[in-house]
Structure 1
Amino acid sequence: MKVLSYRDPGYVEFVQGLKRRAIPGDDVRDLVSGIISEVSAKGDAALFEYARRFDRVELSKESLFVSEAEFAEAKKAVSPATKKAIAASLKNITEFAKRSMRKDWSYRNAEGARVGERFTPFERVGVYVPGGKAPLVSTALMTAGFAKAAKVPEILGATPCGPDGKVNPALLYALYAAGVREVIKIGGAQAIAAMALGTESVSPVDRVFGPGNKFVVEAKRQLVGAVSIDLLPGPSEVLVLSDKTGNAEFIAADLLAQAEHGGDSVIGFVTDSKALIGKVQKAIGRQLETLSRAEYIREVIEKETFMLHVKSFADGVAISNDFAPEHLSLVCAEEKKWLKEIRTAGAIYVGNLSAVAVGDFLAGPSHTLPTGGGGRSFSGLRADQFQRRTSVVKLDAGAVKKSLASVEEFARIEGLDAHGRSVSIRVEN
């Protein structure tokens, strides 16, 4: 892991490099572009070929979608404890979503026109759930659960299956509980392309949601226009920003928990207490030996983890805002003061007891959050992203008359006399 103090050579250069932009490499861009073109041109056949190549599974039109029998088998296979945990998470998601959805509104403007907005759910959305080393049951809930709360009529799920053609039963049960009735057994950029463009078997969606690896993220980026997207959530990140009040054992546990995702995960710890860095390092060493996924975690700790000793807590806050972490754990004596200064984090966990994993699984807000520096431009997934906004304007005779002079002046300035005439004709008649 990289450990630097503000006094060390290379510190300034390293910190400057933490101000990231989520820009893909040419190799990723070109590969994804090719996959999208193949799916667009060949449809189902391209999906089956990529499933064979990447997931080592033979799929057909008959096995592309999860069947009703597979949903039923999953329900039987899942333990009561898992069902209870899924229900608890969905309950919190639904209650959180209800409070964050936008409501219709209207008012009369200065000319007397009735103007406002109405919000309706998208008719059909796609939610992507990554495969890989673990069944991300919580991701199914943190995407489809919000769609269900927003009353989206049709939710298409996409997740890669195993070589046996099966999807993890707990994941399937979670998708079903969250309102998903269609699931394609496809992962990667090809799944995003299928949902956005459609194939012979897959009906296209209006908007695509969900996290993924760099190829999934790039596919979403390239397909904007064919479909709308939620945000660009990639591999997991955490930044712990702590003063001397931080509990080293808790901090180490949060760092290890996010490193557990493996792959391209990014793990950071910033503090104005040099002594705390040493304590956290020792705690990581102790705790790592007790974890079942130690092999994956150790690689992330060695290659993708940094610890910075900053001159002041204010410097740490500045670094956090430049880094724009997916998850920020803020541990300090003056919580209210410093919380106000955090601007770019996807989600903030305040205090020693606020484990990031509670937000990942249960608390209510979605854990689908911007990564790679995207927090400067995007917010995390929200219920109102499943709503289509439409503005509404209604004028009566008095409002048209009061609007005429200003409209005619704009029409004169812009040389659009038909615009002016479309209003004056209503006043004259």
Structure 2
Amino acid sequence: MKILRHTDADWKQTLTNLDRRAEASDAVREVVSSVVKAVRERGDAALIEFTAKFDGATLTSETLRVSQEEIDAAWNAATPELRSALEASHRNVFAFSRKSMRQDWHGTNEQGAEVGEVYHPFERVGCYVPGGTAPLVSTAIMTVTLAAAAGVPEIVVCTPCGRDGKVNPGLLAALKLAGATEVYKVGGAQAIAALAYGTQTIQPVAKIVGPGNSYVVEAKRQCLGAVSIDLLPGPSEVLILADKSGDPRFIAADILAQAEHGKDSQAGFITDDVALLDAVVAEVDRQCQTLTRQDQLKPVLEKGVFLILTSTLEEGARLVNAYAPEHLSLITEREGDILPLIRTAGAIFLGNHSPVAVGDFVAGPSHTLPTGGAGKSFPGLTVDMFQRRTSIIRLSRESCAKSEPIVRAFAEVEGLDAHGRSVSIRGE
């Protein structure tokens, strides 16, 4: 773990380093570009080749898709405890989503024209659900459920399979409950390319949502334009900002919960209280020894965890905005002062008893959130991202006549006389 203090000689450079922008390395960009090109040109053959190379599974065009029988069997085999947990999470996420949907509206402008907006669900969307070292069953709920709540009729899921060519049954059970209509055993950048451009087996979608590793995120970036995307949710991260009221046991537990994602995950802790900083360091060391995923925890604790001592909590809030964390845990006796200062966090968890893991699994808002500094530009996944907006305009003869002088003035200054004529002719 790196410990940084406001008294360090290189403090100003530390502040600069925390001001992130979401971008991929040249190496990642090159790899993704070659993968996307291969899928566009060779379709299923490229998917099968990449699945063998990266996942160690042997598939054919006929076995790329998970059968409905497999999905039904996974649900039937799920334990009562798992079903109960999935159903509780699904109810909260669905209810939150329905309350968040944008609604049609109509009104009139100053000239008397009828104006408004109408919202329709996308016809076909793709949800990416990561696999990797842990099948993200919760991501099935946190993506597919929103699409179903919005009324999307075709919800396509891509997720990596195991070396045996099968998808984790718990994940399949979650996908069935959430409302997936198609599930494919494809992961990585190749899955994003398949969803964007289509193959012989997978038909293209209008929008792609969901988190992934740096290759998945870069693939979404490169396919933008051919398809709509939600945001850039990459490797998971948490930042904790706390004053002396923070409980070091809880803070350490949240850091370790984040670190067990492994790979490029990050966890940070910012405080203005040196005693709390020391206590958290001790708690992380103590609790880490009791956990099972040591292979994932140790690399992150060495390179991806940082603790910062600031002079004030306000300075800590400025660092939060520069870092733009996926998850922010805010623990302070001065919540009313500090919370309004936070502008760039994907999701904020308030108080000692609001663990990020509850947001990961059951709270209600989607856990698909911007990472890597993308929170400066993107919000988290919301149900209205599955709704296509269309504006509506209707003019009467009278409102058209009232609009004509304004259009004429714009048309004259822009040199577009046909525009002006298209309005004035209706009053002749």
Task: Give the TM-score range, shorter chain.
Answer: over 0.9
The separation in 2 between residues aligned to 1:307 and 1:15, in whole angstroms, is 13
The separation in 1 between residues aligned to 2:77 and 2:294, in whole angstroms, is 28
What's 2:139 paired with? 139
What's 2:376 paired with? 376
**Which residues in structure 2 correspond to 1:395-410 (within 5 Å)?**
395-410=395-410
The separation in 2 between residues aligned to 1:299 and 1:45, in whole angstroms, is 36
The separation in 1 between residues aligned to 2:145 and 2:27, in whole angstroms, is 34
**Which residues in structure 2 correspond to 1:299-310 (within 5 Å)?**
299-310=299-310
What's 1:68 paired with? 68
What's 1:275 paired with? 275
> Which letter does structure 1 place at the counterpart of 2:286?
R
Tell me the alpha carbon deviations over residues 141-194 of structure 1, each in whole angstroms, 9 at most, x when there is no partner. Answer: 100010011111000000010111110001001111111021110000000000
What's 1:180 paired with? 180
What's 1:316 paired with? 316
| 2:424 is the alignment partner of 1:424 | yes
What's 1:202 paired with? 202
> Which letter does structure 2 place at the counterpart of 1:426?
R
The separation in 2 between residues aligned to 1:256 and 1:350, in whole angstroms, is 18
The separation in 1 between residues aligned to 2:4 and 2:402, in whole angstroms, is 66
Please state whether the residue corresponding to 2:65 is helix, strand or coil: coil
CA contact (8 A) 2:6 2:311 kept: yes
Please state whether the residue corresponding to 1:17 is helix, strand or coil: helix
Tell me the alpha carbon deviations over residues 237-272 of structure 1, each in whole angstroms, 9 at most, x when there is no partner. Answer: 000000010000000000100111000001100000
CA contact (8 A) 2:238 2:267 kept: yes
> Which letter does structure 2 place at the counterpart of 1:106?
H
Instruction: State the 1:127 CA deviation.
Output: 0.1
TM-score, normalised with respect to structure 2: 0.99
Instruction: State the 1:371 CA deviation.
Output: 0.4
CA contact (8 A) 2:75 2:176 kept: no
The separation in 2 between residues aligned to 1:340 and 1:51, in whole angstroms, is 46
CA contact (8 A) 2:72 2:176 kept: no
Q: Detail structure 1 runs of 4+ shifted over 3 Å in the superposition.
A: none
> Which letter does structure 1 place at the counterpart of 2:31?
L
Instruction: State the 1:294 CA deviation.
Output: 2.4
> Which letter does structure 2 place at the counterpart of 1:316?
G
What's 1:351 paired with? 351
Tell me the alpha carbon deviations over residues 360-381 of structure 1, each in whole angstroms, 9 at most, x when there is no partner. Answer: 0000001100000000000000
The separation in 2 between residues aligned to 1:21 and 1:279, in whole angstroms, is 31
Please state whether the residue corresponding to 1:98 is helix, strand or coil: helix
Tell me the alpha carbon deviations over residues 186-233 of structure 1, each in whole angstroms, 9 at most, x when there is no partner. Answer: 000000000000011111000000000000000000000000000000
**Which residues in structure 2 correspond to 1:191-270 (within 5 Å)?**
191-270=191-270
The separation in 2 between residues aligned to 1:72 and 1:203, in whole angstroms, is 23
Tell me the alpha carbon deviations over residues 96-119 of structure 1, each in whole angstroms, 9 at most, x when there is no partner. Answer: 111111100111100000011111
What's 1:327 paired with? 327
TM-score, normalised with respect to structure 1: 0.99
The separation in 2 between residues aligned to 1:289 and 1:274, in whole angstroms, is 24
The separation in 2 between residues aligned to 1:310 and 1:215, in whole angstroms, is 34
Instruction: State the 1:295 CA deviation.
Output: 2.6
Instruction: State the 1:73 CA deviation.
Output: 1.7
* Greater Cα shift, 72-81 or 105-114: 72-81
The separation in 1 between residues aligned to 2:279 and 2:157, in whole angstroms, is 43
RMSD: 0.8
The separation in 2 between residues aligned to 1:391 and 1:15, in whole angstroms, is 43
Instruction: State the 1:120 CA deviation.
Output: 0.6
Please state whether the residue corresponding to 1:62 is helix, strand or coil: helix
Tell me the alpha carbon deviations over residues 262-299 of structure 1, each in whole angstroms, 9 at most, x when there is no partner. Answer: 00001100000011111011111111111111231122
The separation in 2 between residues aligned to 1:194 and 1:293, in whole angstroms, is 33
What's 1:99 paired with? 99
What's 2:391 paired with? 391
What's 1:363 paired with? 363
Q: Percent identity, aligned pairs only?
A: 55
Instruction: State the 1:64 CA deviation.
Output: 0.4
The separation in 2 between residues aligned to 1:336 and 1:141, in whole angstroms, is 32
Please state whether the residue corresponding to 2:348 is helix, strand or coil: strand
What's 2:120 paired with? 120
**Which residues in structure 2 correspond to 1:23-62 (within 5 Å)?**
23-62=23-62
The separation in 1 between residues aligned to 2:310 and 2:265, in whole angstroms, is 23
Instruction: State the 1:9 CA deviation.
Output: 2.3
> Which letter does structure 2 place at the counterpart of 1:381?
L
> Which letter does structure 2 place at the counterpart of 1:251?
I
Instruction: State the 1:301 CA deviation.
Output: 0.9
Please state whether the residue corresponding to 2:62 is helix, strand or coil: coil
Instruction: State the 1:69 CA deviation.
Output: 1.5
The separation in 2 between residues aligned to 1:207 and 1:38, in whole angstroms, is 21
| 2:6 is the alignment partner of 1:19 | no
> Which letter does structure 1 place at the counterpart of 2:352?
N
What's 1:9 paired with? 9
The separation in 2 between residues aligned to 1:409 and 1:4, in whole angstroms, is 60
What's 2:294 paired with? 294
The separation in 1 between residues aligned to 2:330 and 2:97, in whole angstroms, is 24
Structure 1 unaligned regions, length at least 5 = none
**Which residues in structure 2 correspond to 1:75-86 (within 5 Å)?**
75-86=75-86
